[in-house]
Amino acid sequence: MNHLAIVDDDIVLLHILQDIFEVRGLQVSAFNDPVAALKAIKELKPDAVLSDVLMPNLTGFELCRELRSDKSFAKTPIFLMSAKHSIGELSKSMMSGADEYIIKPFQIDEIYEQLKQFYKKKNNPIIIRPLDS
């Protein structure tokens, strides 16, 4: 089973994402506090991280930079998501070490497909069940 960590201060969206990815077969660790999430993620070592950008106390960019500074997260896929759509935000995302920048609102299938494709590229296939199974 693959392990996905999701970090978002929007509790409703956090639980929706958690439920959808769990239905698709992933083990999900969900966090609404980015500071607590950083500590837990370093201990849990999930296979991928999906994080909001704009959060109190620690932004998604900062979370990503902190994780990338730890060699054990060098190849961990980190996806950042935000409602802000600008070249500057995309640039900050890539400079922080994120693999993908996802614009809200998004389709869940969009994240699902990006996650699958990322794992295929890294020759580390992810096993996710489709929703209709």
For residue 130, the model assigns a pLDDT of 57
| Domains identified in the chain and CATH numbers | 3-114 (3.40.50.2300)
Report the relative pairing of strands 27-31 and 3-7 from DSSP bridges.
parallel
Q: Which amino acid is at 48?
A: A
Interatomic CA distance for residues 3 and 101, integer angstroms: 20
Confidence (pLDDT) at 133 = 46
The tokens describing 99, both together, are 């693999």
- In the predicted model, what is the mean pLDDT of the chain? 87
pTM: 0.86
Task: Note the pLDDT tens digit of each residue in 91-111.
Answer: 888 899 999 898 888 888 888
Q: CB count, 10 Å around CB of 121?
A: 10
- Cα-based torsion angle of the residue sequence 34, 83, 108, 66 in order, rounded to the nearest 10 degrees: -30
Span 82-93, average pLDDT: 82
Q: How far apart are CA 72 and CA 42, in angstroms?
A: 9
* 58: confidence class by pLDDT, cuts 50, 70, 90: very high
Query: Which two structure tokens, joined as six digits, stand for 52?
Result: 């909001």
> What are the pLDDT digits (tens) for 5-37?
999 999 999 999 999 999 988 899 999 999 999
